[in-house]
Amino acid sequence: MLELKIGNALNFWVKTEKGYDLTRGEGGGKPMKTSKEDIFFLPKRSALVIVDMQNYFVSDDCGPGRCGTEMVPAMIETVKACRQAGMPVVWLNMGFNKGDYKTIPPSYLDVSHKRDGVPFGESIGKLADGTDKGGKLARGSWNADLYGPLKPLAEEGIKAGTDVLLWKTRFSGLTGHQPLNVWLTENEITTTFFCGTATDNCVYSTFVDAYYLGYDCILVKDLCATHRPDYVAQTIFSAAEMRGWRSESESLRAALE
């Protein structure tokens, strides 16, 4: 069987007629179907990065234009499959401490204000039962918490050591001095699976920055959501395939069995 080694002595893929081996020579990779070639990956060298599945972006209680509730059941099953296979799960949330507000650039402030007219950190009101939603994407607030059943799911994994919660202060979790790249590097992660909301903003910007940093990138299509028209999502899926692979959560779960 012909093999093509792509990379250098320490960091390489092997392409064969079966697909792409992403194990960097370790072998024993799990085979997974994608929209292109099959890939072979090691769960211990991979991570599922779940982007911005927070009340502010998902819950209808935070206003129109929210999305992602329909994919929560499949996301829960995928998280459980990752844990069972020894593949880390990263909950990547957007949130700010008081000191962060001083460094947010005008471009971010403008986009945020256009969304709902509320600056980062200022109150977005209360729920019908009187619960304070808190300051917009302020860490520790209700709106910055993970959505619904995802919160106890993440807490369970964090306690068990299978999951980690990381914060970002930009749409991409890999731009500037943010913790995700440090965590991936220190845990020797080379292959990254991305999902969450919104497909065309925080998910894709983190995906593409991961590509530029040299990670293997797979977009889990059915675990991505956006409130934009369908052609926007389709454009992102096409762009993702140019930089990595696109797959489905069912394929990932099957590979991890």
Domain boundaries of the chain, sorted by first residue: 44-95+144-249
Distances (CA, A) of 177 to 4, 47, 95, 126, 174: 35, 20, 15, 33, 8
CA 175/CA 49 separation, integer angstroms: 15
Phi (first) and psi of residue 213, to 5 degrees: -85, -5
Please state the CATH superfamily assignment of the domain spanning residues 44-95+144-249 in this structure: Isochorismatase-like (3.40.50.850)
Convert the pLDDT of each residue in 70-122 to its tens digit: 999 999 999 999 999 999 999 999 999 999 988 999 998 888 888 888 989 99
The pTM of this model reads 0.96
The helix/strand count (H/E) of the chain reads as: 8, 11
Convert the pLDDT of each residue in 138-197 to its tens digit: 999 999 999 999 999 999 999 999 999 999 999 999 999 999 999 999 999 999 999 999
Q: Are 28 and 41 in contact (CB under 8 A)?
A: no
Specify the pairing of strand 12-16 against strand 19-21. antiparallel
